[in-house]
Amino acid sequence: MKVKMFDKEWNVNDITYKEKRELWKLSVKSFPEGEINQDNYFVLMDKVEELSGLVEKDIAMLTMGEVDQLLQEIFQQYVGIEKKG
C-alpha cells in the first residue's frame, strides 16, 4: 500500500482483516467517550508502526510529531477512515 505524505510516497505493508479489527479495537480504547487515553493511543501508534513495516531508516529524518502524523495517516488508510474536508 502506498501512503503520500510530506512530499513523499511511503510503501507500507498491506494488512489482513484480522489486523484491521485489532487496530480498530485499539482505537476505540484510545478515544473513550470522545476523550483521548494517551497510553492506549501510543499502543495503537506502536501497533500501526509494527504492521506498516516501516523501519528506523525510513523515518529517521522526521520529527516525533511528524512520525505520529504519518502513523495516523497510515492508520486511517488501514481502517478506511476518510478525512473530513
* Domain annotation covers residue 55: yes
* Domain annotation covers residue 85: no
Amino acid found at 58: D
* Domain annotation covers residue 48: yes
Task: Say if residue 82's pLDDT is above 80.
Answer: no
The whole-number average pLDDT for the span 27-44 is: 92
Partner residues linked to 65 by β-bridges = none
* Domain annotation covers residue 39: yes
The whole domain housing 31 covers: 2-79
pLDDT at 83: 62
* Domain annotation covers residue 22: yes
What total of structural domains would you count in the chain?
A: 1
Kindly tell me the sign of the dihedral angle through the C-alpha atoms of 39, 7, 11, 73.
positive
Predicted TM-score (pTM) of the model is: 0.88
Task: Say if residue 45's pLDDT is above 60.
Answer: yes
* Domain annotation covers residue 84: no
